[in-house]
Structure 1
Amino acid sequence: MRAGELRFDEKPHTDIRFSGTPGHQPLTRSDRTNLPDRVDAGVEYRDVRIEYRLENQITPSAPAVIDHERVDGRN
């Protein structure tokens, strides 16, 4: 996201939650330019840039078994 000017009338309340199947390892990361991690109400921030990433790694609970006959099309 990019903004020439950004101001919050109220201090924002944020919360990130992940739900789903066990075995997932989510990771979020944001890189901010000209915007602190904790913003203040009424302050005008200029030339703001936010890059947000969400990654999800699936960790198998048991080794995967490949049916080579089905993969190769052999019966």
Structure 2
Amino acid sequence: MPMPERPDVPDVEIRASVKARELRFQARPEVSTHTEAEPGGEHASGSDRKNLPAQVTAGVTYHDIQLDFRLAARLTAPPPDSLTRLGLEPRPPAQPTPDPRPESSSQPAPVSAPAPAPDHQPPAEL
């Protein structure tokens, strides 16, 4: 099975790669994978192989092999009743956090008047 391209933006992804100059199996291995995304989602797994067949033969030596494996899952929004079935309560949608900075305005800030002069007059000239 070739390495999956989807989900293209997974929430969880595991990749593994192995290279060997020589690889020999004494017995044919039993290999299986299982992926699941609960309560809903898309998931896939698979591998790309170089110089290594999908079904290896016991006693055969394979040369310059490479195996790249990918497992990926992406969660989707669960159906509204799925949380209740799991014994969970749905959360209300997240509200945006208010910006603590004062709102900016397109109006220029008012200019304050200069401070009043002290309440004394210079002496009159004689």
Interval containing the TM-score (normalised by the shorter chain): 0.7 to 0.9
State the TM-score, normalizing by the size of structure 1.
Answer: 0.78
Deviations 1:10-67 (A, max 9, x none): 0111111235632132211211000001111011100000111111111112488232
Q: Work out whether residues 36 and 73 of structure 2, in 8 Å CA contact, stay in contact via their aligned partners in 1.
A: no
Residue 46 of structure 1 corresponds to 63
**Tell me, which stretches of 5 or more residues in structure 2 are unaligned?**
1-17, 81-91, 101-126
Distance in 2 of aligned mates of 1:42 and 1:61? 48
Residue 93 of structure 2 corresponds to 65
Greater length-normalized contact order (CA 8 Å, ≥ 6 residues apart): 1
Greater strand proportion: 1
Residue 9 of structure 2 corresponds to none
Residue type at the aligned position of 1:49: Q
Distance in 1 of aligned mates of 2:54 and 2:72? 20
Q: Which runs of 4+ in 1 moved over 6 A?
A: none
Distance in 1 of aligned mates of 2:96 and 2:79? 18
**Alpha carbons of 1:62 and 1:73: their partners in 2 closer, same or farther (altered >3 Å)?**
farther
Higher radius of gyration, 1 or 2: 2
Distance in 2 of aligned mates of 1:23 and 1:9? 40
Distance in 2 of aligned mates of 1:22 and 1:62? 8
**Alpha carbons of 1:29 and 1:73: their partners in 2 closer, same or farther (altered >3 Å)?**
farther
Residue 33 of structure 1 corresponds to 50
